[in-house]
Amino acid sequence: MGEPVLRKKTVPVTAFDEALRQILEDMFQTMYAAPGVGLAANQVGLTGRFAVIDVHSEGKRRPMAIINPVIESRSGKIIEEEGCLSIPGFAARIKRSARVRVRAIDQNGLPVVIEGEGLLARCLQHEIDHLNGVFYIDHLSLLQRLRIKREIARRKKSKLF
Ligand code: NI
């Protein structure tokens, strides 16, 4: 959680080339292996503005890359439990927009508009937060955030992870 790259705003992608496609492929594999439903470039030490998402269940995968994503509109509010691969073992109830419309470039270098609700809406907001250097726990109250940080410190000290 303290890694500086995770706290930096990522840099827009300008080259949609084979190297980027390979990186995205690696990120999908890392995400599926975790397992997780989303992974942002800065979570794997990269500085580009892109993330991979798949909110579908095992067996019917639907890989979705979002490159240079922008949230165009949002509506509704919903509070649900959320976690992050970069803060293993924790989850918290976070208020998010219920629906979002995201404009991005996909893994084929083509412009896409994604209308998300439910888990997809939550995941899009979570990953785009990452690309802006923001963690889900930043949406919590100071008191809740301190409680999680204290618990992480306690687990580290007792070498639970
Ligand atoms: Ni995350």
Ligand 1 centroid distance, CA of 87 (Å): 8
Residues 6+ apart with CB under 8 A from 19: none
Ligand 1 centroid distance, CA of 39 (Å): 6
What is the tally of structural domains in the chain? 1
Ligand 1 centroid distance, CA of 58 (Å): 20
Ligand 1 centroid distance, CA of 84 (Å): 4
Separation between Cα atoms, residue 38 and residue 84, nearest integer Å: 9
Mean pLDDT of 9-37: 95
Is pLDDT at 128 greater than 90 in this prediction? yes
Question: pTM of the full predicted structure?
Answer: 0.92
Separation between Cα atoms, residue 146 and residue 75, nearest integer Å: 29
Q: What is the CATH number of the domain that holds 61?
A: 3.90.45.10
Tokens 């890694």 belong to 3
Handedness of CA 61, 62, 67, 70 (dihedral sign): negative
Is pLDDT at 95 greater than 90 in this prediction? yes
Q: Is 82 a catalytic residue?
A: no
Separation between Cα atoms, residue 67 and residue 49, nearest integer Å: 6
Domain that residue 26 falls in: 4-157
- The rounded mean pLDDT for the chain is 92
Query: Which of 35-44, 100-109, 132-141, 152-161 comes out lowest in average pLDDT?
Result: 152-161
Q: If pLDDT is split at 50, 70 and 90, which confidence band does 127 have?
A: very high
